[in-house]
Structure 1
Amino acid sequence: MKLKMLLAGMALFATSSVVMADEGESSSKSQSPEDYIYTTHLDISKIISMTEPAQICGTTPVVMIYEDSHGERHSLRYQVMGTGCSGG
């Protein structure tokens, strides 16, 4: 249940803006993002950045770069609802 709430919160946060906690800091190594699956262990201590979801009506991938509790950076790709759906 906590995981579902965390992912929902991340999705809402991702739709509002890109977070750049350490804008001047760049990762020394470029890594391809790990794809999130239900059994992925999440150890998120600090979110560094998140990409904006696509403006489509449906699920779309976003990437979050974060530091774990040991200070190591990770890149995680997961699905959120796009921002292109309009009500009415």
Structure 2
Amino acid sequence: MKPLLFLLLSGLASLAVAGEASTQTANVSVEKYSYSQNLDIAHVVAVTQVPNVCKVVPVQLTYDDSKGNRHIMEYQVLGNGCTN
């Protein structure tokens, strides 16, 4: 009985942590990157995939700063579809 209770409580704790992380990201506005910014990136959470096109496209970086605040920064990159 105790192992079953432990598994149930562990599962609920995992769901609570996952829900908190998604809620924290949902409340964050997207910041546009500029070269003059001083970035405080303590932990990278996610980076959107660069599309397979030959043009400049936006990419988003989700990260936590040294104070634990979540940020989403958008910046421009050249797509992966260009060849020499």
TM-score by length of 1: 0.64
Q: Offset of 1:80 from its aligned partner?
A: 1.0
- Give unpaired runs (5+ residues) of structure 2: 1-17
- Indicate the percent of aligned positions where both proteins have the same amino acid: 38
Aligned length: 64
Q: Which structure shows the higher helix fraction?
A: 2
Q: Offset of 1:30 from its aligned partner?
A: 2.8
Partner of 1:5: none
Question: Equivalent of 1:26, from 6, 22, 25?
Answer: 22
Question: Equivalent of 1:43, from 40, 44, 67?
Answer: 40
Q: Secondary structure at the match of 1:34?
A: strand
- Give unpaired runs (5+ residues) of structure 1: 1-23
Moved more, 73-82 or 51-60: 51-60
**4+ long deviations beyond 4 Å:** none
TM-score by length of 2: 0.67
CA RMSD of aligned residues (A): 1.5
Larger Rg belongs to: 2
Q: Secondary structure at the match of 1:26?
A: helix
Moved more, 53-62 or 27-36: 27-36
Partner of 2:72: 75
